[in-house]
């Protein structure tokens, strides 16, 4: 009934509502009148990507993308049954904590000696890089490019507690080789390069 009432209005409409609520310590509910301005729900994972370039970033053969519904559709029409469960749950249930926040996914691993042994880790959400929360794909790219530690550590959500660890200098050295081997013209999509 509530969904139908809301569907009869547009974003920006102000609607009057009556709410029944039981204050703490009282036995009976009280009726309250409130006025609400309708606004669109902002999900963490965007449902539509009209007129938006696909974003990606490749480093040492690790392919990172933001989680979107078009990405999940790669598992077919019944994607909710076939895509990784953790990614489906993030798409269906999460709201952003801050503007520009994205779920970053380690989508694929382009095999090379620098990342040998990690082929079964993807696809998985990247939670932290070198102990710092990953806020977006652009944020991860900047952290990797500015990293001065000996190792690159990517903590992923599933399997829980897994960490992909690469030697930073070996990863940097492997970058050109991997891009050439897999015929990738540049390490990042244009929309990430132009936002630096």
Question: Is the CB of residue 154 less than 8 Å from the CB of residue 164?
Answer: yes
Q: What is the pLDDT of residue 16?
A: 83
Query: In 144-168, which positions are buried (b, 16+ CB within 10 angstroms) versus exposed (e)?
Result: beebeeeebbbbbbeeeeeebebeb
Spatial CA neighbour of 157 closest among 104, 93, 91, 80: 104
Q: What is the pLDDT of residues 142-182, one digit of tens each?
A: 999 999 999 999 999 976 678 999 999 999 999 999 999 99
Q: What is the pLDDT of residue 17?
A: 79
Q: What is the pLDDT of residue 169?
A: 96
Question: Is the CB of residue 141 less than 8 Å from the CB of residue 62?
Answer: no
Cα–Cα–Cα angle for 170, 171, 172, rounded to 5 degrees: 90
Q: What is the pLDDT of residue 194?
A: 65
Spatial CA neighbour of 107 closest among 137, 146, 80, 134: 137
Per-residue pLDDT of the chain (196 residues; tens, 9 = 90+): 666 777 777 888 888 878 777 778 787 878 888 888 877 777 778 777 777 888 999 999 999 999 998 889 899 889 888 988 888 888 888 887 888 889 999 999 999 999 999 988 989 999 999 999 999 999 999 999 999 999 999 999 976 678 999 999 999 999 999 999 999 999 999 988 865 5
Cα–Cα–Cα angle for 147, 150, 154, rounded to 5 degrees: 65
What domains can you pick out in the chain, each with its CATH number? Answer: 2-37 (no CATH), 57-193 (3.20.190.20)
């Amino acid at each position: 009934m509530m969904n139908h009432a809301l569907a009869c209005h547009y974003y920006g409409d102000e609607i009057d509502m009556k709410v029944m609520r039981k204050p703490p310590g009282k036995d009976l509910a009280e009726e309250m009148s409130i006025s609400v301005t309708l606004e669109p729900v902002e999900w963490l994972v965007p449902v539509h990507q009209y007129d938006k370039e696909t974003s990606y970033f490749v480093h040492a053969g690790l392919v990172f993308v933001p989680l979107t519904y078009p990405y999940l559709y790669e598992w077919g029409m019944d994607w909710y049954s076939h895509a990784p469960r953790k990614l489906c749950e993030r798409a269906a249930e999460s709201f952003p904590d801050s503007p520009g926040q994205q779920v970053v996914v380690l989508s694929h691993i382009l095999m090379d000696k620098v990342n040998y042994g990690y082929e079964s880790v993807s696809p998985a959400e990247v939670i932290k890089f070198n102990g710092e929360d990953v806020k977006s794909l652009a944020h991860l790219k900047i952290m990797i490019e500015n990293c001065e530690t000996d190792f690159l550590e990517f903590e992923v959500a599933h399997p829980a507690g897994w960490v992909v660890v690469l030697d930073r200098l070996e990863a940097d050295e492997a970058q050109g080789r991997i891009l050439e081997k897999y015929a990738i013209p540049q390490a990042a999509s244009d929309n990430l390069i132009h936002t630096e």
